[in-house]
Each structure stands twice: as structure tokens, then as C-alpha cells.
Structure 1
Amino acid sequence: MNYNVCVRKSIEYINNNLDKKIGLEDIAGRVFMSKFHFHRIFHAVTGKSVAEYIRERRLEEAAKELVNTDSKIVDIALKYQFSSQESFTKAFKRLYGTPPGKFRKNLNNGIAFMAA
């Protein structure tokens, strides 16, 4: 199987399961590779580790929810598999440069996250 196809299939699986626990072994098994080989291939193709990709995608979806819903920040954090609001806020701030509450209040952020 072509490595690009494997990575594309794994990304599709990840994107469809962002609100569930996703293990490297589970993803690698879906494309019939060992987790070690899959991780090397994924990083070579995407330039990111599997964990980094998953974290960034979860934060992107969380940012969309912050802008498009009135859900509590803690509920969004838990939905996207963060262990606490604090860990979510730390990761969110690292990626977006601002905490989630402030991000939600800044209407300019919504331009990139308008509901489809």
C-alpha cells in the first residue's frame, strides 16, 4: 500500500474520531503497520508526530465550538479528550496564543471558524 494512502486513511480515521480516545496502535492497525513504522511514515509525510497532529486537530475543532456554540469551556475540553480545563487551556494558549475564554470573546477569531 502506498504510504500517502495509508496516511490519508489514518487522517480520515483521526478526523472522524476526535471526540474519542485514539491510540497509536489502533490507527497503525487500521493501515496494517506496526505502530513504530507507522509513526515514522506519518511524521515523514505530515511533518508532525501522530500525537501532535491529533492535538492540533482537536484544538481546531474546539476553537470552532468556542466560536459557534455557548458550550462551557470545560465541556469542550472534556469532549476533545483533555483531562482537565487547565490542560486544555494550556494547549489552546500554546497553539492560538490566547486562552479559550478570551478567544471566544474576540469576534475576529470567528472569521476562520464560521459554521458551514
Structure 2
Amino acid sequence: MNYDACIKKSIEYIELNLMQKIELKDIADNVFLSKYHFHRVFHSVVGEPVAEYIRRRRLMESANELLNTDDKIVDIAFKYQFSSQEVFSKAFKRLYGISPREFRRNGNNISIMTSKNKITSQLSMAA
């Protein structure tokens, strides 16, 4: 069975809800699959677990905000559903190798290509 449409729809749901709490059950219900089956399909097609995908997308959006706004780092952290600035900073540094403060101060410009577009293009090529 081809799950490309389910994955595209689930990614759209995630993208629209990055600033809200996202439950696996809600995404799975949105594409009419069980949580267990959806997680397996998503991981197989996208190449990473749903929670990792969501965390990475939130970090990518927050990196964009660090570069393009003067919002406080703690406000950006809470906006993207991180429980504290420390949790956000650790996750940010793990992904980008630099703290959010250093990232903003140095004006480092990273490639902030949305994973949604990357996955969509991968699915189109597979069709």
C-alpha cells in the first residue's frame, strides 16, 4: 500500500501545529491510522521517528526566528513547545552545534529548508 498521501497530510498537520502541543494520536487520527501503524509508516517513509521530526522542525523554525526577530530566546523556546530555555538550548546545540545565543549573535546563516518540502520532493520522485 502506498502511504505517500498519508505522510503528506500528516506533515501538513505538523506544519500547521508546530506552535501547539502535538500528540501522536492526533496526527494518526488525522490520517485514519492507528498510532502504532502510523508511527511505523512515518518512520519508514521519512527516515526518522515522528517526535524527532517535530523537534527538528521546531528547531528549524526557531532558528529562523532567532535570525529574523528580536524576540527573547526564552519566548521562542516556549512558543515552540520547549519546557524551558535550558531544554531548548540543549536541543538547539545538539542539532546546530552552537547555542541559540551564539547563533543569534554571530548571525550564522544556516540552510533552513523545510523538511516538508524535502519530504514532499522525495515522495514525488518515488511516484
Amino acid at match of 1:37: H
Counting aligned pairs with the same residue, the percent is: 67
| 1:112, distance to aligned residue in structure 2 (A) | 3.6
- Over 3 Å counting, the alpha-carbon distance change for 1:112 and 1:6 in structure 2 is same
Give the equivalent residue in structure 2 for 1:62. 62
- Over 3 Å counting, the alpha-carbon distance change for 1:102 and 1:4 in structure 2 is same
Give the equivalent residue in structure 1 for 2:76. 76
Amino acid at match of 2:5: V
Give the equivalent residue in structure 1 for 2:97. 97
Alignment RMSD, CA only?
1.2
TM-score (norm 1): 0.93
For 2:36 and 2:111, how far apart are their aligned partners in 1? 35
SS in 2 for 1:110: coil
Alignment of 1:1-116 (within 5 A): 2-107=2-107, 109-110=108-109, 112=111
| 1:2, distance to aligned residue in structure 2 (A) | 3.4
Instruction: Structure 2: give runs of 5+ residues left out of the alignment.
Output: 113-127
TM-score (norm 2): 0.85
Q: Encode CA deviations 1:58-111: one digit per residue, 9 max, x unaligned.
A: 00000000000000000000000000000000000000000000000112x236
SS in 1 for 2:51: helix
Amino acid at match of 1:73: I
Task: List structure 1 segments (4+ residues) > 4 angstroms apart after TM superposition.
Answer: none
